[in-house]
Structure 1
């Protein structure tokens, strides 16, 4: 099969197609750029980041692109770390958290839009569960790998992540999803199956 024909049919070696790669790259670039920019323009209350914009996009890429979008979240975060001189090896659980932010909503909600009010509730519930699990992983990373005091992490940092990540995503992700879902579906970018 000629390469052009393989791209057209979505077939490549080892079961990975061009659209899997495109989905991963789109997720990585948008998510990574959002993290990178939020490092320089943080929306803070005192020293606490109140709004973490990347949390808004994470569930969407998991829902639109399934496991490939979730993988893109990790790649995007790694790239944003490297660009600012951070060592990704210090953040294994935090990187897993990025994957979970997309994975949980992506596996729980496989529709291209909202058809009923129950769909919206299910969407928000999936986003919240994914964010809570992800923030637990980030908190564990802070305690175990970075050796921050557990009482500070669980008493201050983790509760605030429920505002900056969980609440932010629960409020804004459904709005962005409702706005973009029709476009994603019509463009053929939406993966109906979680594994693509």
Structure 2
């Protein structure tokens, strides 16, 4: 009986060590969080519940998400900022989703030109667009395909080829019916756009 107790102690110790190792390496998925973003939120909120959402995509872009985290945008809301996906990995991507009811959330990397502050009166009755209204990311290398997952649904495909240069390209295959893409924006210097 005493011998069995002494054998039990090393096995228990080994089991605990293995569990600790598992928790350390698997914590990125097991301890993921849900974050919420709404036009009626506040960036000083925790973002961890529908009752305390963040407000801006800028807050989302500047937050250090962990693999497995999910960012939920409120249905019916509109953002005029550019989302820059980052972090995550192949086994634990950062997922972008929606919550609530109504129309899907709209994320535009643009500004509303109906806002008076977006216009400058150069001379009487001659107006130009305020240069500070550009929300776009000018660096084409901000897309890191190793840090996020592009979802492909219903046969539509988006392929990102890693060599973003004159010879690199982004290919978007849309379906002939059922789903449409709009507000697709590509900002890459010296990139020749061709269609098939």
Q: Which TM-score bucket, shorter chain as reference?
A: under 0.3
More strand as a share of residues: 2
Q: TM-score, normalised by structure 2?
A: 0.24
More helix as a share of residues: 1
Find the structure with the greater CA-based Rg. Answer: 2
Q: TM-score, normalised by structure 1?
A: 0.24
